[in-house]
Structure 1
Amino acid sequence: MSLDEHEYRRLLCSMSLGYTAYHVWALQARRERKFNIARLLAAASSVKRIRAELAFRALGEVGKTSDNVARALAGLEPESVATGPVTGTGAISRDLLNRAARALAEGRDLLASELDDLFVCGGCGELMEGPTDACAICGTVREGFQSFRAAEAMGNLGPTSIMRRLEQSITTIHALMSDIDEELLAVRAVGGYSIKELIGHLADTDEVFRERAWLILELDEPRLPAAHPPKLAKAEVYRTHPLADLFEHFQNSRQQTLDLLRGLTAAAWRRTGNHPIFGIVPLTHQGNWVIEHERSHLVEMAQLRHDLLHQHDQFNPPVLPPNLVAEILEGE
């Protein structure tokens, strides 16, 4: 093996491991609702993926698709090599990670004022903070960058998809609460909450979103209020509410939200507000925010419903996988 080939194999191994590490860490940060830190980790993951791809290609491991499929079926067995460090080795990466570490030491996410939009060069994998016209390393223009913007931290759904998801939630929640004893809907999972509490919580969150949307549409770059109630524990009162009342509460709130948003122009969806954590964000950001939060709880509710209907021991509450339990953080 030549020195160059050995180095490429070392890079491939190191960058592949680094990609996996940062990718999974980004997912974990999202689960903990540290969305700006997740954005940083996702950008770092992209750096590693691009550099792993460059090394893989340099080793001649990429051919025509027919050859690649044949190799996949045959089984690709790369040689094992020592990797060296796989994370945080560049100066900018270490600077960004140190900022994240300081924020986490204070029990919070990075603020938008502490982390600018991030870009990764698609040509060489260089990580950049803030807008730039071209990569200083390889000259790739900004159109060839991958972007990790604060405004897109929640997701990239456009107005049509946002509206469709908001509408679908009414049907989904109705299906989740149908054909199940109302007493079971008040049963809490271990370390979690009941379906009744979650329905009430989603209605509360929808009201927060609608308030923010109204402010964005009516005022010029308003300061957006933090999520309230910020904790699911505030929803405990809903355990004793009649199910029909809870669903009506959610349905009425969601219908008001849909009425507010229906028929908005593309320009209206681009109107912005000033969020204490995420900075200047468009209405689409907040639409993705409520949908991302809602999706997590709908999965949680579906799992809880399944376990309640199929568990053999009715005296022990269900235990949900930890990754299914979501929550809004203070100030989010």
Structure 2
Amino acid sequence: MPDPARLLAVARGLEDDGQYNVAKLFRAAAYGALVRSARARPRIGEGLAEAAAAAIDDLRAAGAPPELIAAMERGIAAALAGEWASLEELPPTAVCRDCGRVVLSDTPVRCPECGAHELTLWDIAPNYYLDPLPVEAIGPALARGLAEVEALASGVSDEAAELGVWPMREIVAHLLASEQLLVGRARRMLAEGEPRLVSVSPDDITAGVAAVEPTLTGLLRAYGVARRATLDLVGVLAGEDWQRAGFHPEWGRVTVQQQLGYVARHEASHLAELARRRAGE
């Protein structure tokens, strides 16, 4: 396995010499090596508590900031209790690009370790789905996503749709439930002034949709109807509509652009799983 630390060190050295275009290759490879080394992912009830405790102990032994340790312990306790820690409990998080210090603050601050300017810190979003897609890319991405989901799931029997660790029917139910939730939030942002949003369990909303429509055929039909309504909405948005926003208890301020881009990115993240289910894996 390639050494991520070595790859990142080369990337940073190249950046110091102004070789940014070459540096990106080594930085990407460093992240790729980290991802490949973390394929076995503990889940709640399946080793997460023990793995998190060990990771926190490692950080504590390495002298990590006490506020980071405390925030991690609060967050893990909430997760193990089936709850969601709020932004007040787990403030915005950034990493100093110069020294690697993790900084927790709801207001811009300089790195407390090396003094690097706040504009040089790397903000860590709760989920990459929140990275805003360009406005002009959202409609085409949503249209392509629907076509891919329909191509992968159409013609699959109800029996085959129940096979696999995460069956195809449940994946499509999850996509439909997410569409209803996320686009519903976007519509509230457009209709209200900065509405307060609510954290929900993905498992709960998926189970609710699956209970209402028990067949893959029915779920696909409902998904198509929901997505076409979303595309209609995207088609009439203009100018400042995209920057209307709401406040999420975990994520903070979220715009219509972010929420609809989230729909596209989230759907795309599940296409490979649908392809594996269709192939019988």
TMscore range, shorter length: 0.5 to 0.7
For residue 182 of structure 2, what is the amino acid of its counterpart? F
Give per-residue Cα distances to partners, 1:123-173, cap 9 Å, x unaligned.
2222222233433333321221111245x6533132334333211121102
The share of aligned pairs that are identical, in percent, is 26
Structure 2 match to 1:300: 273
Give per-residue Cα distances to partners, 1:189-235, cap 9 Å, x unaligned.
2x433x34433442333222222111101110112355588243331
CA–CA distance in structure 1, aligned partners of residues 237 and 64 of structure 2: 46
Q: How does 1:246-325 map to 2 (within 5 A)?
A: 246-265=219-238, 267-307=240-280
Give per-residue Cα distances to partners, 1:221-250, cap 9 Å, x unaligned.
112355588243331553446x2x543322
- Taking a change above 3 Å as real, the CA distance of residues 188 and 145 of structure 1, as seen in their structure-2 partners, is same
- Aligned to 1:295, the other structure's residue is in SS state helix
Determine if contact 1:197/1:239 at 8 Å carries over to the other structure.
no
Structure 2 match to 1:97: 72
- Taking a change above 3 Å as real, the CA distance of residues 217 and 140 of structure 1, as seen in their structure-2 partners, is same
Confirm whether residue 120 of structure 1 aligns to residue 104 of structure 2. no
Report the Cα offset of residue 276 of structure 1: 3.8
Report the Cα offset of residue 257 of structure 1: 0.8
Structure 1 match to 2:104: 129
Determine if contact 1:199/1:247 at 8 Å carries over to the other structure.
yes
Confirm whether residue 109 of structure 1 aligns to residue 84 of structure 2. yes
CA–CA distance in structure 1, aligned partners of residues 35 and 84 of structure 2: 17
- Aligned to 1:274, the other structure's residue is in SS state strand
Structure 2 match to 1:175: 151
Confirm whether residue 146 of structure 1 aligns to residue 119 of structure 2. no
Q: How does 1:1-332 map to 2 (within 5 A)?
A: 28=41, 89-130=64-105, 131-149=107-125, 154-158=129-133, 159-178=135-154, 180-189=155-164, 191-193=165-167, 195-225=168-198, 227=200, 230-234=204-208, 235-236=210-211, 238-240=213-215, 243=217, 245-265=218-238, 267-307=240-280
- Aligned to 1:146, the other structure's residue is in SS state strand
For residue 136 of structure 1, what is the amino acid of its counterpart? P
CA–CA distance in structure 2, aligned partners of residues 298 and 22 of structure 1: 19
For residue 223 of structure 1, what is the amino acid of its counterpart? R
TM-score for both structures, normalised by structure 1: 0.58
- Taking a change above 3 Å as real, the CA distance of residues 305 and 114 of structure 1, as seen in their structure-2 partners, is same
- Taking a change above 3 Å as real, the CA distance of residues 121 and 192 of structure 1, as seen in their structure-2 partners, is closer
For the pair shown, which has the larger CA radius of gyration, 1 or 2? 1
- Taking a change above 3 Å as real, the CA distance of residues 303 and 171 of structure 1, as seen in their structure-2 partners, is same
Report the Cα offset of residue 21 of structure 1: 7.9
CA–CA distance in structure 2, aligned partners of residues 157 and 186 of structure 1: 33
- Aligned to 1:114, the other structure's residue is in SS state coil
- Aligned to 2:138, the other structure's residue is in SS state helix
CA–CA distance in structure 1, aligned partners of residues 39 and 96 of structure 2: 19
CA–CA distance in structure 2, aligned partners of residues 134 and 186 of structure 1: 52
TM-score for both structures, normalised by structure 2: 0.67
- Taking a change above 3 Å as real, the CA distance of residues 26 and 147 of structure 1, as seen in their structure-2 partners, is farther
Structure 2 match to 1:4: none
- Taking a change above 3 Å as real, the CA distance of residues 276 and 139 of structure 1, as seen in their structure-2 partners, is closer
Q: Which runs of 5+ in 2 are unaligned?
A: 1-5, 10-30, 45-51
CA–CA distance in structure 2, aligned partners of residues 24 and 288 of structure 1: 29
- Taking a change above 3 Å as real, the CA distance of residues 84 and 221 of structure 1, as seen in their structure-2 partners, is closer
Determine if contact 1:135/1:142 at 8 Å carries over to the other structure.
yes
- Aligned to 1:223, the other structure's residue is in SS state coil
Give per-residue Cα distances to partners, 1:39-82, cap 9 Å, x unaligned.
xx9xx9xxxxxxxxxxxxxxxxxxxxxxxxxxxxxxxxxxxxxx
Report the Cα offset of residue 283 of structure 1: 2.1
Report the Cα offset of residue 25 of structure 1: 7.0
Q: Which runs of 5+ in 1 are unaligned?
A: 1-8, 13-18, 33-40, 45-82, 308-317, 319-332
CA–CA distance in structure 1, aligned partners of residues 117 and 85 of structure 2: 28
Q: Report the aligned-residue RMSD.
A: 3.8
CA–CA distance in structure 1, aligned partners of residues 113 and 198 of structure 2: 41
Report the Cα offset of residue 305 of structure 1: 0.5
Structure 2 match to 1:311: none
User: Which of 106-115 and 223-232 deviates more?
Assistant: 223-232
CA–CA distance in structure 2, aligned partners of residues 143 and 249 of structure 1: 44
Count of residues in Structure 1 that have an aligned counterpart in Structure 2: 237
